[in-house]
Amino acid sequence: MRLWGRATILRRMLCLWLLLLGFTLVILLLSDFFNRGGIHSLQKLGPPRRPFQRFRPPDMEVIVDSRDPALQLGVDLAPLKSLQEDQLLFVPSSQGSKSPPQKRANYKVLLPAANKDATAPGEGDPQVHLEELEKNLQLRYGFNEGFSGSLHRSLPEVRSHGCFEEQYSESLPLASVIICFHDETWSTLLRTVHSVLDTAPNQFLQEVLLVDDLSQHGHLKSALSQYMAHLEKVRLIRSSKRLGVAGCRTLGAARAAGEVLVFMDSHCECHKGWLEPLLERVAQDRTRVVSPIIDVIDWETFQYNATQWPVRGVFDWRLDFYWESNPQLQDKDPDMDNKPVQSPSLGGEVLAIDRHFFQSVGSYDPGMLLWGAEQIELSIRVWSCGGSMEVVPCSRVVHLNHHKLPYTFSDQELLQRNKIRIADTWMDAYSKIFYRRDTLAHFIRQSESPNIAERLQLKRRLGCRNFHWYLTTVYPQLYIPQDRPGLSGELYNVGTGSCADYSRGQGLQGGPMIIAPCSGTGSQHCDLNFEGEVRWGPMGALCLDAKLERVVLSPCPILRPTTRRLQWKFIKLSGQLVHQQSELCLEAVKEGGLLQSRAKEFNTHINTGSLFLRPCTHHNRQQWYFEQLVTPKGA
């Protein structure tokens, strides 16, 4: 009996051990899978990675140009508030003669000559060695991008004539250009660095600070270190933690020595004379944050698109950012060709800001995750807390617009969380307008609260103004939706079971309305206001309009009262939406023979049908409901 008992216990223990072993194996496999998935999700074009490459802790190092003593002594090692000190490690220098930058206990500094790799070019003419190095890399990583030729490419001259007569002060503050990168393509990254070195006047360039945000691509490891070690004024900092855009830039800023910080994406090319106009504007007013005009090179076609002036940065009620060309500016100045234009927001591509102002206004929000909306947060904060923003037309930088890999769901959620921080920190009661147009954010917000106590404290400490002030003073062009219950939300059609929709790709100029499956995301939100306009889209700048019998969207008029053609009346009892001028009713028409021919006429894609004006009947295709999807708190 006792023997039997012991055997059972032994057998049970064995089972337990086996179970534990199995469980550990599953956890290991899962973590491996997620590690790889996470890396893939934001990965950009680059050399093919070896299959099943395991995550390896990166070599952490900082390179300081050994030929520039000022850099070694002048590195500002201000204490990092938002980052852990142990996120950085500097590899020791063998050049004992020169005093290394101020050391903190867990930092070391690597000087380029310390590199012991015998095959690495380190002496003699740096240009020859760079070419050699590139060739080696080409063999090693199989690049087909053609290096040297393309590293210094000339750009078409697109500045206005007035710009060539502009005079800039000879004693401008020095700039630290901070370039964060995560798995950037080799040639693109190098072109960015070279283009800064080629165009920034030596006397105004303190340094180029490359900050590696935990890249995984092989070529961005020691090969990049070797390459950059040969470039004067270039420093490379590596983070051992993925910081995201905001965190990475904050790290760069904390290490920068220049008076003015210039944040730049890792896929840019600078026009001649881009830096001086920016520095001049910041020097004149240290609370001014400035951006060049951002021209665009398409990643795939390499087509160069010069951005039309005037241009300014704006965002919509979903907190998505746009550059808006030829905006309806209040004070149109005939002489504005080379005068800066104030901008409610600035894109993050290139941004110049006084270093002290950047720190005092709260740098980037350390709670911002990986990517997205951090520039909107900075913009609202700068304006609300005593600064200003503008686009400077005599400065132009090109940004390579890449076609993003589709975001995985979790990346989307990260972006939503960033937006929630903005809404809850800065938008006061206006945040409801955001949550109605972004239901995913609403649901995330319902289950968790952002940790924004410190940011709210900062806001109080700086005496920042409220969002109402921002809307009325800085960005009065943004339509403020009324969102009345029963008269706003998704416009649901009973007859077809679909919702009124508009393909965003058609742009801000408007186009035909369609019906499509109801998205439930808030992207189909519209707002029938007191004036009778049905305002569409996250900007609320497009109005439901009629072209003959076809229902379209067109830009809403700025002047009040609105035009009669844009006025609609909703009859709650019957669900009819009546076009005031024609007294016809809005009808959803599913795809059919007639419709196909109409579709061609209007040159549109029809998913499930279109919207027409028809004599009013009680058919359920003319029966509509405004469905509010969410009720944000306090609404």
- Which residue reads 């590293």 in tokens? 151
Give which of 478, 473, 304, 306 is closest to 393, Cα–Cα.
306
Cis peptide before 310 (omega within 30 of 0): yes
**Residue numbers 530-569 binding ligand UDP by CB under 6 A:** none
Indicate whether 522 belongs to the interface with ligand UDP (CB under 6 A). no
Q: Give the x/- contact pattern for Mn ion in 44-63, rule: CB under 5 A.
A: --------------------
Indicate whether 424 belongs to the interface with Mn ion (CB under 5 A). no
Q: Pick from ligand UDP, Mn ion, none: which does 184 bind, CB < 5 to 8 A by kind?
A: ligand UDP
Which burial class, exposed, middle or buried, applies to 114 when counting CB atoms under 10 A from its CB (0-12, 13-18, 19+)? Answer: middle
Give which of 190, 240, 195 is closest to 210, Cα–Cα.
190
Residue of this chain nearest to Mn ion (CB atom): 265
H-assigned helices in 173-214: 186-199
Residue 372: CB minimum distance to ligand UDP, A? 7
Residue 388: CB minimum distance to Mn ion, A? 24
Segment interacting with Mn ion (CB under 5 A) among 168-176, 240-248, 265-273, 318-326? 265-273
Cβ distance to Mn ion smaller for residue 207 or 265: 265
Give which of 622, 630, 318 is closest to 492, Cα–Cα.
622
One residue of 265, 390, 490, 545 binding ligand UDP per CB under 6 A? 265
Segment interacting with ligand UDP (CB under 6 A) among 33-41, 180-188, 309-317, 525-533? 180-188
Inter-CA distances, 559 with 122, 470, 556, 581, Å: 66, 21, 9, 19
Indicate whether 374 belongs to the interface with ligand UDP (CB under 6 A). no
Residue 399: CB minimum distance to Mn ion, A? 6
Torsion angle, alpha carbons of 156, 158, 159, 164, to 10: 50
Segment interacting with Mn ion (CB under 5 A) among 106-114, 124-132, 261-269, 414-422? 261-269
Q: Give the x/- contact pattern for ligand UDP in 234-253, rule: CB under 6 A.
A: ----------xx--x-----
Cβ distance to ligand UDP smaller for residue 213 or 545: 213
Cα separation, 586 vs 50, in Å, equals: 57
Indicate whether 181 belongs to the interface with ligand UDP (CB under 6 A). yes
Cβ distance to ligand UDP smaller for residue 66 or 176: 176
For helices 126-141 and 222-229, the axis angle rounded to 10 degrees is: 170
Cα separation, 309 vs 149, in Å, equals: 31
Cis peptide before 47 (omega within 30 of 0): no
Contact present, 358 and 385 (Cβ < 8 Å)? no
Q: Pick from ligand UDP, Mn ion, none: which does 248 bind, CB < 5 to 8 A by kind?
A: ligand UDP
Residue 460: CB minimum distance to ligand UDP, A? 30
Amino acid symbol at 303: Q
Residue 347: CB minimum distance to Mn ion, A? 9
> 3-state DSSP call for residue 553?
strand
Cβ distance to ligand UDP smaller for residue 400 or 577: 400
Residue 375: CB minimum distance to ligand UDP, A? 8
- Which residue reads 């290139």 in tokens? 350
Residue 213: CB minimum distance to ligand UDP, A? 3
Cα separation, 292 vs 340, in Å, equals: 9
Cβ distance to ligand UDP smaller for residue 112 or 348: 348
Segment interacting with Mn ion (CB under 5 A) among 112-120, 264-272, 290-298, 424-432? 264-272
Residue 400: CB minimum distance to Mn ion, A? 7
- Which residue reads 């020691």 in tokens? 222
Cβ distance to ligand UDP smaller for residue 155 or 376: 376
Give which of 69, 85, 86, 66 is closest to 257, Cα–Cα.
69
Contact present, 518 and 498 (Cβ < 8 Å)? yes
- Which residue reads 């569409």 in tokens? 536
Indicate whether 266 belongs to the interface with ligand UDP (CB under 6 A). yes
Give which of 515, 486, 489 is closest to 586, Cα–Cα.
515
Cβ distance to ligand UDP smaller for residue 159 or 238: 238
Segment interacting with ligand UDP (CB under 6 A) among 4-12, 181-189, 352-360, 563-571? 181-189
Tokens of 393: 């037309």
Cβ distance to ligand UDP smaller for residue 213 or 354: 213
Segment interacting with Mn ion (CB under 5 A) among 184-192, 224-232, 262-270, 456-464? 262-270
**DSSP line for 23-48:** HHHHHHHHHHHHHHHHHHHT--S-SP
Segment interacting with ligand UDP (CB under 6 A) among 101-109, 167-175, 178-186, 486-494? 178-186
Beta bridge partners of 350: 264
One residue of 65, 134, 259, 265 binding Mn ion per CB under 5 A? 265
Cβ distance to ligand UDP smaller for residue 304 or 625: 304
Tokens of 452: 């924004």
Q: Pick from ligand UDP, Mn ion, none: which does 182 bind, CB < 5 to 8 A by kind?
A: ligand UDP
**Residue numbers 341-370 binding ligand UDP by CB under 6 A:** 348-349, 370
For helices 409-426 and 374-384, the axis angle rounded to 10 degrees is: 10
Tokens of 619: 């058919």
**Residue numbers 194-233 binding ligand UDP by CB under 6 A:** 213
Give which of 528, 548, 537 is closest to 482, Cα–Cα.
528
Residue 268: CB minimum distance to Mn ion, A? 8
Length of the chain: 635
Cα separation, 493 vs 577, in Å, equals: 11
Cβ distance to ligand UDP smaller for residue 182 or 194: 182
Residue 146: CB minimum distance to Mn ion, A? 22
Residue 608: CB minimum distance to Mn ion, A? 35
> 3-state DSSP call for residue 388?
strand
**Within 13 Å and on the Cβ side, how many CA atoms surround 598?**
20
Residue numbers of the site for ligand UDP (CB under 6 A)? 180-182, 184, 213, 244-245, 248, 265-266, 348-349, 370-371
In the complex, the residues that contact Mn ion under the rule CB under 5 A are 265
